Amino acid sequence: MRAIQFTEYGPPAVLHTAEVPPPQAGPGRIRIAVRASGISPGETYIRAGTLRDVVPTTFPYRTGFDAAGVVDQVGDGVTGVAVGDEVFGMTTMAARGANADFAVLAAWAPKPPAWSWEEAGGAAGSVETATRVLDRLAVGAGDTVLVQGAAGGVGAVAVQFAVARGATVIGTASEGNHAFLRSLGAQPTSYGPGLVERVRALAPAGVDAVFDCAGGSLPDLITIAGGTAQVVTIADFAAAAHGVHMSHGVPADSTGTALGSAADPQAVHGLALAVALAAEGRLRVPVAAAFPLTEAAAAHELSESRHARGKIVLVH
């Protein structure tokens, strides 16, 4: 089968398509024939070598964490799913390898009929991350939440999940994405200088929680939240220096000192919630761009621009 991998750190050009043996579904796992898979912004850092001291990498490194496709193998002990079912889900953090013709999933849910393969292929990682952080922040009905970087793959899903919980959501994005954020249910504002004042004007009673999907603005976000306890970032590697929790899923034994926090438990229950919200027409998975599997390098280039609206996916 084809799989995307790299054998050295470097720019997107180090990614290449390799012919490798297909993985097998072990106990508690399923294998899918992949129809679409997601590009993870975190993997662009891994590929570039930025996280070499945080994420131990053995070459060749096969990319991809979330995918959607048709079940073609069911491991021992798995119930509730059968060969031929259409599903979306994610691999383990350690195994990855979803950017391939076949992928083994550790968590999955039925593909919502309303979603295209592209939407489903990029959904699981954003859904799990959004659920994990909103759970940690204990976001609920009546809360006001700021999502910094709300137009990206995780941010757009986080907005919709927070709205579904009954929260009022303020989202930051470039002005060209403000109408998009309104369509998701958020009050938009711009990031950058003056953010504290703009958010206070939108939420004079204060903000209960801040979900940072962009990085680089923690001092302002702490001021907006009135302290560090209600700020969680997934994008700022200086979090520990600011006393802010960085939520991630990399094995704790490799990140305790480098990121200042152990891995949070994966929120795989978010997948079932996503299915329910999609059935009600309350969850969209915005797709910024879809590339053929063989153009993974171009997909990584777009991801590194940090200007994509929604998720970047590979189609198989």
Q: Is residue 147 pLDDT above 60, yes or no?
A: yes
User: Which pLDDT value is given to residue 284?
Assistant: 95
> Where residue 252 falls among pLDDT bands split at 50, 70, 90?
very low
> Where residue 260 falls among pLDDT bands split at 50, 70, 90?
low
User: Which residue do the tokens 């990085």 mark?
Assistant: 215
Same fold flag, 2-122+285-315 and 127-254:
no
- The helix/strand/coil state of 137 is coil
Please report, rounded to a whole number, the percentage of residues in the chain having pLDDT higher than 70.
97
State pLDDT tens for residues 189-235: 999 999 999 999 999 999 999 999 999 999 999 999 999 999 999 99
Q: For residue 262, report the phi and psi dihedrals to the nearest 5 degrees.
A: -75, 165
Q: Is residue 259 pLDDT above 90, yes or no?
A: no
User: Which pLDDT value is given to residue 258?
Assistant: 56
Mean pLDDT of 294-314: 95
User: Which pLDDT value is given to residue 140?
Assistant: 98
In Å, the largest CA–CA distance within the chain is 58
All structural domains of the chain with their residue ranges: 2-122+285-315, 127-254
User: Which pLDDT value is given to residue 263?
Assistant: 82
CB atoms under 10 Å from CB of 188, counted, come to: 22
Adjacent-strand bridge partners of 314: 37, 291
Which strands form 144-148's sheet, in the order they lie side by side? 187-189, 168-172, 144-148, 209-212, 231-233, 245-246
Looking at 3.30.450.40, 3.40.50.720, 1.10.10.10, 3.30.70.100, the CATH number of the domain 127-254 comes to: 3.40.50.720
Q: Where are the beta strands (DSSP E) in the chain?
A: 2-6, 16-19, 30-38, 61-62, 66-74, 86-90, 102-105, 107-110, 144-148, 168-172, 187-189, 209-212, 231-233, 245-246, 287-292, 311-315
Average pLDDT, the chain: 95
Residues with Cβ < 8 Å from 34, sequence gap 6 or more? 67, 68, 69, 98, 100, 101, 102, 103, 121, 316
Euclidean distance between CA atoms 163 and 60, whole angstroms: 41
Euclidean distance between CA atoms 230 and 162, whole angstroms: 15
Euclidean distance between CA atoms 101 and 315, whole angstroms: 10
Pick the range with the lowest mean pLDDT from 168-182, 246-260, 276-290: 246-260
CATH class assigned to 2-122+285-315: alpha beta
Q: Is residue 283 pLDDT above 90, yes or no?
A: yes
User: Which pLDDT value is given to residue 256?
Assistant: 44
State pLDDT tens for residues 91-139: 998 899 999 999 999 999 999 999 999 999 999 999 999 999 999 999 9
* More confident call, 194 vs 306: 194
Pairing of strands 30-38, 66-74: antiparallel
Residues with Cβ < 8 Å from 178, sequence gap 6 or more? 188, 189, 190
Which contiguous run of DSSP H or E holds residue 195? helix 195-202
User: Which pLDDT value is given to residue 91?
Assistant: 97
Is there a cis peptide before residue 41, judged by omega within 30 degrees of 0?
Answer: no
User: Which pLDDT value is given to residue 249?
Assistant: 77
Q: Is residue 251 pLDDT above 90, yes or no?
A: no
State pLDDT tens for residues 17-53: 999 999 999 999 999 999 999 999 999 999 999 989 8
State pLDDT tens for residues 285-300: 999 999 999 999 999 9
